Structure 1
């Protein structure tokens, strides 16, 4: 005996590939489907509607298929309210809790569709009912598992949940029209940089937020000064990096080297290999990066411009760090929360030459946030896509070339 449910798809589901993905998912997971209604949009802006019955051998198999279809944007027909169960204790969620995507999501509570706040992948959904007598609507928020508190109302199962993945533009045009996902070393860098610059100008003019995620290669590849210029001129609103990036940047100011190598002459000065740890010691002696700037010890570079222009930064530590600097957050949960706050404020994110921090920030971003990843290694963008940051576009190029070209485009008279 088979079990079945009916689901609906609506939007530009043909050209975006959504319909084909759903058909494929059903078959790959051992189910069957029958299209009951199909209305094709007959002009560029018309949407397509598909209603299909999904069948599986068991309830468990059907539930797994429905979960996959939900991630693709399919909605169960005649939806019921979401199923809610209380968290049994702090940091513990009910069995069969709904694990989120990073797409815009809506939850049906008391017959009303409520948009989820702060969309983020791999989280639980927590419902706050509010006080109807005071005119308060329910709220639904994402929570990472370690932030769940005993008694929180957690969404479980697939009922009463609607996901709306961003759709690819039909004509590739519009704002940030080149953002089609994927990675290629053949993309026309100059034209892409021009479009990125245009988007950054627009974000700046509308009081939006540009988040830059930085790797140490920026310093020793020659992109540091151009990035510092962008910070000084107001094109960077927040910076996320690791201990290594800040140390390289500060070492370049204090000693003219990066990891002991003279970045101008490409020579190894005597005792240059010690400059990295000397830098950490000097900044620690002064009490931190801001204190070093105030004392005049640090007077140029990216971190200097961040302090001088009140650009907030998060330095997240790792097990590999030397020192680390006093400003580096060594508690991983605290660092995640700090990155999460940055990500939720961002309108566009530039991920520059760092695999680990790009993935960390990408995990916190909603799929509606425009994201550009630049790295000499195509695996960096591939990793982002595999983790679910499908909105990321990748440029495979030298970061020391990209940042000066971007700065030239933005800062030209």
Structure 2
């Protein structure tokens, strides 16, 4: 049975912490500009001593500025959101000497097996990932009811008919609470629903269809004519796939635009600042994030996501799984500071097939009946 790691706070009753000074602050004098000597946040739990009390910043993320609000709570703000009069915490040390303490061992204190968030070096195509699949399946089953699961998808996740069905399964069975991606993942999933192709190739046989290179453009054009993907589902144009399941189950899709987008779909947000804010709504409460075959979206999501989240007053880790056929991509992700990531080298279709197969087993290892498969686990 899956159990969350227990978080152990630092012992702030020791003489060192008790004698540490309160943080030094300075007010913002110019909108969007932090005062000199500002402190920059990380993904790890950070405590700040304010009025003699060590306080945890709850919704943090990398490369933000900690601001003390009027109620004494601490908010991580991007530079662009700083306002004149904001009280910014100053200090470049993180060992308590300036009232700032960065804590990396909260989920491993007293555990001789080592830090749960340590870099997982040496993971390659030769690595056995069986335990990672099992752990992820158990984690998804746990967080379906007790967390917020975000899938970050590249278009490869919908380039195959069966992998599209796996993503339908994840949404229909509440193993997905939000989807991040770009124009392509939604466009090609809609193309699959309309033409049974992706970039003109049949989803089952990979046969190139006559004029198939028009299919994704025709899909975009249809949605733009109707005004939204929701309207396309309502009118019966889209009857299967990831987008259909998300619309039917009211699972939000956050689609970030890029400079090379075709169309794009009406739902795609091309303003990077706006889409970052929308993504942050979900990363602020995410407990598990699964990233498939998309380097840039994965890195962006990782940088927006802390290593922990506070749920019902309890501190728990945020788990990130990144899957790609390229070891370079996965190494790049870990090198960008997403320290809590578990990487799996795999073709995305193979990964999804295996994960669903594991999730459909009961506690004795037997596959569930077809009737049970269609119901929530």
Q: Which TM bucket (shorter chain)?
A: 0.7 to 0.9
Equivalent pair of 1:261/1:267 in contact (CA under 8 Å): yes
Q: Deviation at 1:408? A: 1.8
**1:162 partnered with 2:101:** yes
Counterparts of 2:238 and 2:302 in 1: how far apart (Å)? 31
Q: Deviation at 1:310? A: 1.2
Residues 75-114 of structure 1 mapped to structure 2, 5 A cutoff: 78-114=19-55
Equivalent pair of 1:166/1:367 in contact (CA under 8 Å): no
Describe the SS at the equivalent of 1:114. strand
Q: Deviation at 1:186? A: 2.7
Counterparts of 2:258 and 2:265 in 1: how far apart (Å)? 12
Q: Which runs of 4+ in 1 moved over 3 A?
A: 75-78, 166-174, 177-183
Q: Deviation at 1:171? A: 5.0
Q: Deviation at 1:411? A: 3.0
Equivalent pair of 1:179/1:393 in contact (CA under 8 Å): no
Describe the SS at the equivalent of 1:218. helix
Equivalent pair of 1:227/1:407 in contact (CA under 8 Å): no
Could you tell me which residue of structure 2 aligns to residue 381 of structure 1? 330
Q: Deviation at 1:129? A: 3.8
Equivalent pair of 1:104/1:164 in contact (CA under 8 Å): yes
**1:151 partnered with 2:151:** no
The structure-2 alpha-carbon separation of the partners of 1:153 and 1:215, relative to structure 1 and needing over 3 Å to count, comes to same
Q: Deviation at 1:212? A: 0.6
Equivalent pair of 2:117/2:339 in contact (CA under 8 Å): no
Describe the SS at the equivalent of 1:371. strand
Q: Deviations over 1:315-337 (max 9, x none)?
A: 11111111110011111101000
Could you tell me which residue of structure 2 aligns to residue 11 of structure 1? none
Describe the SS at the equivalent of 2:250. coil
Counterparts of 1:348 and 1:100 in 2: how far apart (Å)? 21
Equivalent pair of 2:119/2:334 in contact (CA under 8 Å): no
Q: 2:215 aligns with which of 269, 275, 295?
A: 275
Greater relative contact order (CA < 8 Å, ≥ 6 in sequence): 2
Could you tell me which residue of structure 2 aligns to residue 405 of structure 1? 354
Q: Please tell me whether Structure 1 or Structure 2 has the larger radius of gyration of its CA atoms.
A: 1
Describe the SS at the equivalent of 2:57. strand
Q: Normalization by structure 1: what TM-score? A: 0.76
Structure 1: which 5+ residue stretches go unaligned? 1-44, 52-74, 131-137
Describe the SS at the equivalent of 1:361. helix
Counterparts of 1:112 and 1:190 in 2: how far apart (Å)? 45
Q: Deviations over 1:182-214 (max 9, x none)?
A: 4332332333211110111111243x1111110
Residues 187-266 of structure 1 mapped to structure 2, 5 A cutoff: 187-206=127-146, 208-221=147-160, 223-266=163-206
Equivalent pair of 2:118/2:339 in contact (CA under 8 Å): no
Equivalent pair of 2:67/2:86 in contact (CA under 8 Å): yes
Equivalent pair of 1:381/1:393 in contact (CA under 8 Å): no
How many residue pairs get aligned? The number is: 333
**1:285 partnered with 2:225:** yes
Judging by fraction of residues, say which structure has more strand.
1
Equivalent pair of 2:37/2:90 in contact (CA under 8 Å): yes
Could you tell me which residue of structure 1 aligns to residue 4 of structure 2? none
Q: Deviation at 1:179? A: 8.1
Q: Deviation at 1:380? A: 2.3
Could you tell me which residue of structure 2 aligns to residue 365 of structure 1? 305
The structure-2 alpha-carbon separation of the partners of 1:166 and 1:364, relative to structure 1 and needing over 3 Å to count, comes to farther
The structure-2 alpha-carbon separation of the partners of 1:92 and 1:398, relative to structure 1 and needing over 3 Å to count, comes to same
Equivalent pair of 2:117/2:340 in contact (CA under 8 Å): no
Structure 2: which 5+ residue stretches go unaligned? 1-7, 93-97, 309-317, 362-367, 369-377
Counterparts of 1:155 and 1:292 in 2: how far apart (Å)? 49
Describe the SS at the equivalent of 2:246. helix
Q: Deviation at 1:268? A: 1.2
Q: Normalization by structure 2: what TM-score? A: 0.83
Counterparts of 1:379 and 1:224 in 2: how far apart (Å)? 26
Describe the SS at the equivalent of 2:181. strand
Describe the SS at the equivalent of 1:241. strand
